[in-house]
Amino acid sequence: MSLKDLPPIREALEEYGLLAKKSFGQHFLLDLNITRKIARLAEVVEGQTVIEVGPGPGGLTRALLEAGAKVIAVEMDPRFFPLLNGLGDAAPGQLHLVQNDALRVKEADLIAEHAPGTQASVVANLPYNVGTALLLKWLTGPWQPRSMTLMFQKEVADRITAQVGDDAYGRLAVVVQATAKARTVMDLPARAFTPPPKVTSAVVNLTPLMDRPDAAMLKALERTTQAAFGQRRKMLRSSLKTLGGTELCLAAGIDPDVRAETVDVEGFLALAKIVLAQSAT
Ligand code: SAM
């Protein structure tokens, strides 16, 4: 059977008697029009390697396979494997299933095993409970994807893309935008999912920067943003006291009397640079 002859995902889900498990953050996209749109937004092309986290019943996986991608799908819940194997049979050589926790896998090893020599993108309707942890793993960890097209709760998408001055601006926006270009490309109402979550969702497209800060600098940035936004109502001279307070701010060219929410990503990078230099002495 080829991909286009497969029954609708909803039917396959019923045939295998699969119900969503809350503990795994399962909210499925069963409408292929939506999953195909996500594959288009991810600009998936023939032969491209894609890592998908949490294929579940395979609605997004199917759209990625239709677009010609080679998909390495990491799923924790083994109940979906019989159904996903059927999907793989309909697209020979294109789907590699991995039963594991995406937080623990080494993506570089998976690519070396299943698609050696290729640079992979990540496309996923992420489980909400580990979405930000996975994003930070891909942005600040040793393996970097070519691009990421990821579904988050809308509130998290807003925190990722927020600009200085926005209510949602905080640590996540600073760390993400210091390492990638991020923009929301689609909003999806709760009713698009089975079962519907309590909140609206959004797809965010992220392109890692070529010259992202190194690991030591990222650590300094995390320390700085944690201190600054941990006490976001305070002026920097006070919230950053343990890191150098007024002197630190002046050395970085930042007014010590402003609050964290008014400092842009460049400003935080300047502060982190001094924090890093101090810790090296
Ligand atoms: N991609 C499917 C779709 O769009 O219909 C399912 C998305 S559902 C929001 C999240 C999926 O991630 C579930 O299949 C769940 O079992 C899986 N999952 C949850 N935690 C995971 C983890 N740590 N590693 C890998 N998969 C995980």
Q: Which atom of ligand 1 is nearest to the CA of 35?
A: 4
Give residue 77 CA to ligand 1 midpoint distance, Å.
8
CATH of the domain at 263: 1.10.8.100
pLDDT at res. 143: 95
Give residue 280's pLDDT band: very low, low, confident or very high (50, 70, 90): confident
pLDDT above 90 (res 281): no
Q: Are residues 183 and 232 in the same domain?
A: no
| First-residue to last-residue Cα distance in the chain | 65
Last residue of a domain, one of 150, 180, 208: 208
pLDDT digits (tens, 9 = 90+) for 4-39: 899 999 998 899 889 999 999 999 999 999 999 999
Distance (Å, whole) CA 133 – CA 277 = 27
Q: Are residues 150 and 273 in the same domain?
A: no
Q: Are residues 79 and 7 in the same domain?
A: yes
Q: Are residues 249 and 136 in the same domain?
A: no
> Percentage helix, strand, coil, to 5, in the chain?
45, 15, 35
Give residue 161 CA to ligand 1 midpoint distance, Å.
23
Q: Which atom of ligand 1 is nearest to the CA of 80?
A: 14
Q: Are residues 190 and 268 in the same domain?
A: no
Distance (Å, whole) CA 183 – CA 42 = 12
Ligand 1: does its nearest atom lie under 6 Å from the Cβ of 62? no
Give residue 186 CA to ligand 1 midpoint distance, Å.
19
**Spatial strand order in the sheet of 180-188:** 95-99, 70-75, 49-53, 121-125, 148-153, 201-208, 180-188
Q: Which atom of ligand 1 is nearest to the CA of 30?
A: 5
CATH of the domain at 131: 3.40.50.150
Cα 33 to chain centroid, rounded: 22
Q: Are residues 221 and 171 in the same domain?
A: no
Q: Are residues 219 and 153 in the same domain?
A: no
What residue numbers bound the domain in which 7 lies?
A: 3-208
Q: Are residues 260 and 177 in the same domain?
A: no
Distance (Å, whole) CA 154 – CA 32 = 21
Last residue of a domain, one of 180, 208, 236: 208
Mean pLDDT of 68-93: 97
Among residues of the chain, what percentage have pLDDT more than 70? 100
pLDDT digits (tens, 9 = 90+) for 103-157: 999 999 999 999 999 999 999 999 989 999 999 999 999 999 999 999 999 999 9
pLDDT digits (tens, 9 = 90+) for 248-264: 999 999 999 999 999 99
Distance (Å, whole) CA 195 – CA 19 = 9
The two tokens of residue 251 are 């050395």
Q: Are residues 230 and 139 in the same domain?
A: no
Distance (Å, whole) CA 129 – CA 23 = 9
Q: Are residues 204 and 219 in the same domain?
A: no
Q: Are residues 230 and 113 in the same domain?
A: no
Ligand 1: does its nearest atom lie under 6 Å from the Cβ of 77? yes
Ligand 1: does its nearest atom lie under 6 Å from the Cβ of 277? no
Ligand 1: does its nearest atom lie under 6 Å from the Cβ of 75? yes
Q: Which of 160, 155, 277 is nearest to 224 (CA)?
A: 277
Q: Are residues 45 and 160 in the same domain?
A: yes
Give residue 274's pLDDT band: very low, low, confident or very high (50, 70, 90): very high
Distance (Å, whole) CA 94 – CA 72 = 8
pLDDT at res. 1: 84
Distance (Å, whole) CA 279 – CA 275 = 6
If one counts the domains in the chain, the total is 2
Distance (Å, whole) CA 269 – CA 77 = 39
pLDDT digits (tens, 9 = 90+) for 216-242: 999 999 999 999 999 989 999 999 999
Last residue of a domain, one of 145, 173, 208: 208
Summary mean pLDDT of the chain: 96
